[in-house]
């Protein structure tokens, strides 16, 4: 039994009528006889019900349900069933193929094939379970050394909060970010029981974040050392820091002379309170490059000038150089996210993590001689069938992946219907065009085309870039879905 509808506090009325009931009531009122003044004479208790005792208004006609009204346009007898309630026309239910695409009904062959409820928005599928599996495999490889995960640039574009919590759950307690702002986001996601190092070091406008969120600066120069100590000396509980020594990359890091000066300045060193000494390998992807051994030797000699503390040298590629590069902490990045860290992919055992999925928005037939895309960058040599995909350079598909007529560069491909199809024409902001002429079965509208996935490094090599760049350029417009396994 339905409860009465509460109209006002403390007062209850009848249950509100549904839309269908209201419509039937309106239709019934149209068929109700009225008097000369337009008043309803067929309703008891109406406006005149009290005065006329519920009698019909004097309209000169007698109301009879079983007979039709005196209306020349109506020759059917009156029925209680509303006029609008016509039998519904039955429609055939759509059927679907194995890929989930709707099949054409036999009676309407001209109808286009598409997935029901598909979207024009691209989707990023991020497998958090694969990130955890990659972390575990790296840990097995480095043995007793700990892992300090690199979550720079929003965890390489995959989401620092989600990735940070996944790695924390896997046992990671040391993280590296580029800026204090990134450190703040990560700290709020994983809590206080972890070390977060800021690789770019301290700067005056960022000092508040370092202290408020217990972020550890990486000291890259004597100038940064003084900036940090001036503020740390005034604080009751200043965070520890790391010392970054440049061993040959000539990027950030204390130079050889600065390292020697700092090692002799015990007062400055004591104010800094370092708990880690680190450097960065420049040529680790190439295991045969002699610079790897040179940097290893320099790092050992310079670190020996400082008090004993944990050392860190190896990045993702450095993990595969051997145990002597591992020290007490390794700092993997791209390997966690499914990219290829070295030149020998067969030596690596990480899983792909991310796929950029773009829906098929339109299928077109192109005649020989027609141009495709901006600037007529591609001209069809023969009749073609093409598909327009709903993702472009705003979503992480570089313009460099465009397929141009007569181009001598490598062709970029996309996975569609489990086959690799080439990109043709210039990639635009929101759209990418692919050649589907050779597909045995054309895709339907809404079917997904996959960028990246297991072909992340292949896609990067095709346009002369690195898989790092393809990941961090993934657009914020994409809908993100996270999978735990």
Q: Residue 251: count other Cβ atoms within 10 Å of its Cβ.
A: 10
pLDDT of residue 275: 97
Which of the given ranges, 13-17, 123-127, 232-236, has the highest pLDDT on average? Answer: 123-127
Residue-wise pLDDT tens digits, 373-417: 999 989 999 999 999 999 999 999 999 999 988 766 789 999 999
pLDDT of residue 250: 95
pTM for the full predicted model: 0.75
Whether 326 has a pLDDT exceeding 70, the answer reads yes
What mean pLDDT do residues 151-166 have? Answer: 97
Q: What share of the chain has pLDDT > 70, as a percent? A: 75
Residue reference for tokens 């019934």: 28
pLDDT of residue 314: 98
Residue-wise pLDDT tens digits, 165-198: 999 999 999 999 999 999 999 999 999 999 999 9
- Alpha carbon distance 241, 485 (integer Å): 36
Residue 316: band (very low, low, confident or very high) from pLDDT cuts 50, 70, 90: very high
CB contact at 8 A, 387 and 443:
yes
pLDDT of residue 235: 84
Closest CA to 314 of 279, 277, 360, 289: 279
3-state secondary structure of 360: strand
pLDDT of residue 380: 94
Q: What share of the chain has pLDDT > 90, as a percent? A: 70
CB contact at 8 A, 272 and 219:
yes
Domains along the chain? 128-340 (3.20.20.10), 352-483 (2.40.37.10)
Residue 468 designated active-site: no
pLDDT of residue 29: 57
Residue reference for tokens 């709707």: 102
- Alpha carbon distance 116, 204 (integer Å): 54
CB contact at 8 A, 100 and 117:
no
| Selected catalytic residue, list 55, 81, 344, 374 | 374
CB contact at 8 A, 377 and 425:
yes
Angle at 37 between CA 31 and CA 43, to 5 degrees: 45
Q: Which spans in 399-454 are helix H?
A: none
Whether 99 has a pLDDT exceeding 70, the answer reads no
Residue-wise pLDDT tens digits, 59-76: 444 444 444 444 444 444
Residue-wise pLDDT tens digits, 417-457: 999 999 999 999 999 999 999 998 889 999 999 999 999 99
Residue 12 designated active-site: no
CB contact at 8 A, 218 and 199:
yes
| Selected catalytic residue, list 115, 132, 135, 152 | 152
Residue 18: band (very low, low, confident or very high) from pLDDT cuts 50, 70, 90: low
Whether 6 has a pLDDT exceeding 50, the answer reads no
């Amino acid at each position: 039994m339905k409860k009465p509808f509460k109209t006002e506090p403390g007062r209850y009325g009848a249950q509100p009528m549904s839309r269908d009931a209201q419509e039937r009531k309106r239709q019934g009122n149209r068929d109700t006889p009225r008097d000369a003044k337009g008043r309803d004479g067929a309703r008891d208790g109406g406006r005149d019900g009290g005065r006329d005792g519920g009698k019909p208004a004097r309209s000169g006609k007698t109301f009879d349900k079983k007979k039709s009204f005196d209306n020349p346009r109506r020759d059917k007898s009156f029925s209680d069933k509303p006029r609008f309630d016509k039998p519904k026309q039955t429609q055939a239910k759509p059927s679907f193929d194995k890929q989930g695409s709707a099949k054409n009904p036999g009676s309407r062959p001209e109808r286009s094939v598409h997935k029901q409820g598909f979207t024009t928005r691209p989707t990023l599928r991020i497998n958090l379970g694969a990130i955890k599996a990659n972390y575990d495999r790296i840990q097995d490889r480095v043995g007793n050394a700990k892992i300090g995960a690199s979550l720079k640039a929003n965890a390489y574009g995959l989401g620092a909060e989600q990735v940070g919590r996944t790695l924390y759950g896997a046992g990671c307690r040391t993280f590296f970010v580029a800026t204090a702002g990134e450190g703040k986001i990560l700290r709020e996601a994983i809590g206080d029981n972890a070390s977060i190092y800021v690789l770019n070091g301290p700067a005056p406008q960022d000092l508040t974040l370092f202290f408020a969120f217990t972020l550890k600066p990486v000291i890259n120069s004597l100038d940064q050392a003084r900036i940090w100590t001036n503020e740390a000396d005034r604080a009751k509980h200043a965070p520890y820091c790391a010392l970054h020594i440049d061993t040959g990359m000539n990027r950030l890091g204390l130079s050889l002379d600065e390292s020697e000066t700092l090692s002799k300045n015990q007062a400055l060193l004591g104010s800094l309170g370092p708990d880690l000494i680190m450097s960065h390998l420049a040529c680790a992807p190439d295991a045969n490059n002699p610079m790897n051994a040179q940097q290893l030797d320099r790092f050992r000699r310079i670190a020996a000038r400082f008090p004993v503390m944990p050392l860190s040298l190896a990045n993702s590629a450095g993990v595969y150089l051997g145990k002597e590069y591992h020290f007490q902490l390794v700092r993997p990045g791209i390997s966690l996210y499914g990219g290829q860290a070295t030149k020998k992919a067969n030596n690596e055992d990480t899983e792909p993590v991310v796929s950029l999925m773009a829906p098929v928005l339109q299928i077109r037939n192109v005649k020989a001689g027609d141009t495709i895309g901006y600037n007529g960058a591609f001209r069809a040599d023969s009749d073609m069938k093409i598909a327009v995909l709903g993702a472009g350079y705003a979503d992480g598909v570089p313009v460099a992946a465009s397929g141009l007529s007569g181009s001598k560069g490598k062709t970029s491909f996309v996975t569609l219907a489990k086959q690799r199809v080439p990109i043709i024409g210039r990639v635009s902001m929101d759209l990418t065009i692919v050649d589907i002429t050779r597909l045995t079965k054309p895709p339907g509208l809404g079917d997904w085309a996959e960028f990246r996935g297991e072909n992340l490094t292949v896609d990067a090599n095709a346009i002369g870039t690195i898989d790092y760049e393809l990941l961090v350029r993934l657009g914020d417009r994409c809908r993100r879905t996270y999978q735990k396994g």
